[in-house]
A and B are shown apart, each in its own frame.
Chain A
């Protein structure tokens, strides 16, 4: 009981600190860093877009590592962490796509263009959405974890492609960015709240998924026990 109380309080404090870190980030962006001359205020979305994109790659890597871990050890917690990270990956990829679209509308006048990086980012989002969508379709738990682990490994191949697409193919995204020193510092600072948010979501997602898995295990065990206690004639033994 006490443990749950402190766990809840710990989580609450963590999210409060994350919120403060975000608030400081917003203050830095609007009060400290100068407005970019060409793009205007819309350029400020970049301080959120880039750290979120970076964290999306990290979370996809977590799914990949957990998928390899599950195939290697066949332990349920690897699968639970892989699911939690895939959920966070979908969320972060959605934010990356949305912020990118807002930027694109301001910079190029269109909400969407089929440039390689945008296309492969959309494919990445689709891959992890499919990862989550197919899970409920496979009833047997071990089989589900196995298929999803294999899928998690193959899906990760898109991550280097998103990163390298700008270098390999002609794209509207710049190959490198030059920023004023204060812009660089603020951008680096924004990594802090975004990483805190990502880690928090991962931990919360993992604990929820772990509880769901334990409940499923108990239900499966109870069903098996009931099935074995019924005699072939239909009488309870």
Chain B
């Protein structure tokens, strides 16, 4: 167990160190996320945003598109100089590679969500303090499932000749149940000032568990140097 945790730590630290040195992924996806916020914010107008029903959906659109680019970039790093082939030859369980990639992606997504939400507070007038903890719980659960599916299919796409846009095509329909449930729950909290919905929460947790288990099981089948 100690060896596994040590290996996991090294794998996650490797990904985060690469990102800390290059700032390639986070810089790019943050700018894309803010751009989406600005474009949609301008399109919707002040009155629509002030009603409080649009801001959560706009934020989720920004998370999704930036997230897809994030998955693409983190997996494409492994393709350079045969890094993935090296990892696959290392005496590490391939399932652990999935967990490490997932944790790396979650750290990046978490940072992305914080920055984009802060931009949403600034540009869209989104009052996150009206339901801060429900927002944190719902978004975290949504992001966990999204990251599991994203990490799985980024491995499939990066080793084939699929164009980048097709990763979004693969991930979005699969994540739609998660996205719909998350947005509905956020709307209930921010627009209708309700408590967090327990049946919605159960759906989110169920989806996260299923996505995590399936992704972990089939990830190594999709790995190709």
- A residues near B (Cβ < 8 Å) are 71, 119-120, 123, 126-127, 130, 133-134, 137-140, 143-144, 146-147, 150-151, 153-155, 157-158, 161, 168-169
Contact = CB atoms under 8 A, between A and B. Distances in A.
22 contacts: A119-B180, A123-B176, A123-B180, A126-B173, A130-B169, A130-B170, A130-B173, A133-B169, A138-B160, A138-B161, A138-B162, A139-B160, A143-B224, A146-B221, A150-B222, A151-B153, A153-B214, A154-B149, A157-B207, A157-B211, A161-B177, A168-B203
Given A130-B173, A168-B203, A154 B211 contact: yes
Contact of B162 (A134, A154, A157): A134
Question: How many residues of B sit at the interface, in one of the four size bands?
Answer: 20 to 34
Given A138-B162, A143-B159, A151 B221 contact: no
B163 interface: yes
Given A154-B152, A157-B174, 20 more contacts: A71-B218, A120-B177, A123-B173, A126-B176, A127-B173, A134-B169, A137-B160, A137-B161, A137-B166, A138-B162, A140-B160, A143-B159, A143-B160, A146-B221, A147-B156, A150-B156, A150-B221, A157-B210, A168-B203, A169-B199
A143 B224 CA distance: 9
Contacts of A151: 153, 170, 174
Majority DSSP secondary structure for residues of B touching A:
helix
What 6 A-B pairs are tightest by C-beta distance, nearest first? A126-B173, A147-B156, A127-B173, A123-B176, A138-B160, A150-B218
B161 A158 contact: no
A interface majority secondary structure:
helix
A198 B156 CA distance: 31
A185 to B, nearest CB: 36
Interface string B203-225: 10001001100100010011010
Contacts of A150: 152-153, 156, 218, 221-222
Interface in B141-200: 149, 152-153, 156, 159-163, 166, 169-170, 173-174, 176-177, 180, 199
Nearest to B210: A157
Contacts of A123: 173, 176-177, 180
Contacts of B170: 130, 134, 151
Contacts of A130: 169-170, 173
A204 B224 CA distance: 34
A154 B170 CA distance: 11
Contacts of B163: 137
Contacts of A153: 214, 218
A153 B156 CA distance: 14
Given A161-B177, A169-B199, A154 B161 contact: no
Nearest to B163: A137
A153 B149 CA distance: 12
B159 to A, nearest CB: 7
A161 B222 CA distance: 26
Contact of B199 (A120, A126, A158, A168): A168
Contacts of B169: 130, 133-134
B87 to A, nearest CB: 19
B197 to A, nearest CB: 9
A140 B156 CA distance: 12
